[in-house]
């Protein structure tokens, strides 16, 4: 059986009109699939140049397959179980800018290039003030994009009609505006001409977005079955659910060059993405982030196992309906319907969504996905969201780095992991002191959470002590069961 490549698949040649920062599972299962649909339906004729944003990544593996890979979509569609595979053939080039920086920059001179799309995680859209030598590959995503846009500005002599549609998919508020802010700040750090900074704003078309599709990634447990079905080997196959939603803030140029709402897909160009984003981030992503440390420390490895577990399932359900929904200003019937759909998606029998894949960058994810709910719940009710605080206590315990006799493969920025390790290294048995330090970590949370409510620190300390001394399974059973023992 051969590996999928041009040898066994007639790959079409398309002009490279889209540059994509990120080659991870989500972009390949979501954006590239949408681009595939747009190409197939004749709405566009565009190839994608994929740029690897970090020194490590999948560009090498994708090159070995000529950019071809299989998307496996599984789920419930109109009440029926669906499994379908589709070869995605839109990737026309793959670039590791750390090794091919000049070839990367040359795309800035392309007459065909129209669109920049990115998903570099929540931590990706940030200014790195050390990115001051653009003659070599910058470390940050904004640094790389700034270098490309500067090349484009210089090559086309600042022509206003040579700007690009810039469509970030990172899960932060107003991601388009924030990316523009980072580019402008970094340009000034690099002492770039104000005319170039003006061109950044006037010629380019930034829009903010919201994306939604659960993507478990490589279907390890089904790979032999899929090989028999497809007749080839695919080391980059990616699995996603049927459900998808892409909301983009209306921007005429973006709508012209990326008419993703014209082919029957669940894509919306909206006047404001705020209500859609708040609903999705707080309910779907927030419940994911709250679930991970609690379920994982109970010995559970996947989302499906977690929500089908009686105790964890109740914990997640009650967190969403009792602590998240009250903080979102949308009609109650709409909130209930969306929340129910999220729980149903979690139970998709075809999806094996590993908790540890969600645990990537868990510190930043708490700040972006759960902290707003904590603040809003306290402001609206004057009370504490107990399940959310239990989840924060579990996050502290998770960063102790062990589950039973196993070492947890923590995956976060080195400086964040170093801080968690320092907190535990200094722990002397005083859970209140540990909780206070964790809650007061303003560099991570941008607020001292100890100050949000007079009982917050003691509540987290109580839950942390129960988890650390009784074990997560015992603590969460006690919590969910409403007993008055170890954690109540």
Q: Tell me what pLDDT residue 403 has.
A: 97
The residues facing 259 across adjacent strands are: none
The closest alpha carbon to 434, from 379, 387, 470, 395, belongs to 395
Residue 216 structure tokens? 């478990």
Q: How large is the C-alpha radius of gyration of the chain?
A: 23
Question: pLDDT digit of tens for each residue in the chain (488 aa)?
Answer: 999 999 999 999 999 999 999 999 999 999 999 999 999 999 999 999 999 999 989 999 999 999 999 999 998 777 678 889 999 999 999 999 999 999 999 999 999 999 999 999 878 999 999 999 999 999 999 999 999 999 999 999 999 999 999 999 998 889 999 999 999 999 999 999 999 999 999 999 999 999 999 898 899 888 999 999 999 999 999 999 998 999 999 999 999 999 999 889 989 999 999 888 888 889 999 999 999 999 999 999 999 999 999 999 999 999 999 999 999 988 888 789 889 889 988 888 887 789 999 999 999 999 999 999 999 999 999 999 999 999 999 999 999 999 999 999 999 999 999 999 999 999 999 999 999 999 999 999 999 999 999 999 999 999 999 999 999 999 999 998 755 455 55
Rounded CA-CA distance 342/360 in Å is 21
The closest alpha carbon to 265, from 462, 36, 13, belongs to 36
The closest alpha carbon to 148, from 203, 97, 189, 208, belongs to 97
Q: Tell me what pLDDT residue 484 has.
A: 44
Work out the angle between the directed axes of helices 175-189 and 141-155 (0-180°, nearest 10): 70
What phi and psi values does residue 108 have, to the nearest 5 degrees?
-65, -20
Per-residue three-class SS string for the chain: CCECCCCCCCCCCCCEEEEEECCCHHHHHCHHHHHHHHHHCCCCCCEEEEECCCCCCCHHHHHCCCCCEEEEEEEEECCEEEEEEEEECCEEEEECCCCCHHHHHHHHHCCCCCEEEECCCCCCCCCCCCCCCCCCCCCCHHHHHHHHHHHHHHHCCCCHHHCCEEEECCCCCCHHHHHHHHHHHHHHHCCCCHHHHHHHHHHCEECCEEEECCCCECCHHHHHHHHHHHCCECCCCEEEECCCEEEEECCHHHHHHCCCCCCCCCEEEECCCHHHHHHHHHHHHHHHHHHHHHHHCCCCCEHHHHHHCHHHHHHHHHHHHHHHHHHCCCCHHHHHHHHHHHHHHHCCCCCCCEHHHHCCCHHHHHHHHHHHHHHHHHHHHCCCCHHHHHHHHHHHHHCCCEECCEECCCCCCHHHHHHHHHHHHCCCCCHHHHHHHHHCCHHHHCCCHHHCCCCHHHHHHHHHHHHHHHCHHHHHHHHHHCCCCCCC
């Amino acid at each position: 059986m051969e590996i999928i490549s041009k040898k066994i698949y007639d790959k079409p040649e398309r002009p490279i009109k889209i540059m994509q920062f990120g080659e991870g599972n989500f972009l390949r299962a979501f954006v590239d699939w949408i681009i595939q649909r747009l190409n197939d339906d004749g709405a566009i004729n565009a190839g994608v140049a994929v740029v690897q944003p970090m020194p490590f990544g999948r560009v090498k593996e994708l090159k070995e397959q000529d950019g071809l890979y299989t998307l496996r979509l599984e789920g419930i569609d109109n009440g029926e179980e669906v499994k379908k595979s589709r070869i995605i053939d839109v990737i026309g080039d793959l670039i590791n800018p750390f090794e091919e920086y000049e070839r990367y920059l040359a795309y800035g001179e392309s007459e065909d290039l129209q669109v920049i799309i990115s998903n570099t995680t929540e931590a990706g859209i940030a200014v790195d003030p050390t990115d001051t030598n653009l003659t070599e590959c910058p470390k940050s995503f904004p640094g790389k994009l700034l270098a490309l846009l500067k090349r484009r500005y210089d090559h086309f002599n600042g022509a206003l009609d040579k700007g690009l549609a810039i469509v970030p998919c990172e899960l932060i508020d107003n991601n388009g505006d924030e990316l523009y802010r980072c580019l402008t700040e970094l340009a000034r750090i690099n002492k770039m001409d104000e005319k170039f900074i003006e061109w950044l704003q006037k010629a380019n078309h930034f829009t903010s977005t919201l994306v939604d599709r659960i993507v478990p990634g490589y279907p390890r447990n089904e790979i032999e079955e899929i090989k028999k079905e497809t007749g080839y080997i695919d080391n980059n196959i990616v699995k996603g659910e049927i459900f998808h939603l892409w909301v983009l803030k209306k921007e005429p140029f973006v709508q012209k060059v990326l008419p993703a709402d014209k082919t029957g897909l669940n894509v919306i160009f909206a006047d404001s993405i705020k209500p859609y984003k708040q609903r999705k981030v707080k309910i779907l992503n927030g419940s994911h982030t709250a679930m991970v440390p609690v379920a994982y420390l109970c010995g559970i490895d996947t989302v499906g196992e977690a929500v089908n577990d009686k105790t964890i399932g109740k914990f997640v359900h009650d967190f969403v309906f009792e602590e998240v929904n009250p903080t979102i200003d949308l009609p109650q019937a709409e909130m209930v319907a969306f929340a129910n759909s999220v729980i149903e998606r979690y139970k998709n029998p075809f999806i094996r969504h590993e908790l540890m894949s969600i645990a990537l960058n868990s510190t930043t994810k708490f700040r972006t996905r759960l902290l707003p709910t904590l603040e809003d719940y306290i402001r609206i009710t004057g009370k504490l969201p107990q399940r959310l605080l239990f989840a924060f206590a579990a996050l502290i315990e998770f960063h102790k780095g062990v589950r039973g006799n196993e070492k947890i493969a923590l995956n976060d920025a080195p400086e964040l992991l170093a801080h968690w390790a320092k907190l535990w290294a200094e722990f002397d048995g005083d859970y209140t002191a540990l909780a206070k330090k964790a809650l007061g970590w303003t560099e991570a949370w941008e607020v001292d959470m100890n100050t949000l409510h007079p009982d917050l620190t003691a509540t987290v300390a109580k839950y942390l002590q129960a988890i650390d001394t009784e074990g997560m399974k015992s603590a969460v059973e006690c919590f969910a069961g409403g007993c008055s023992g170890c954690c109540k």
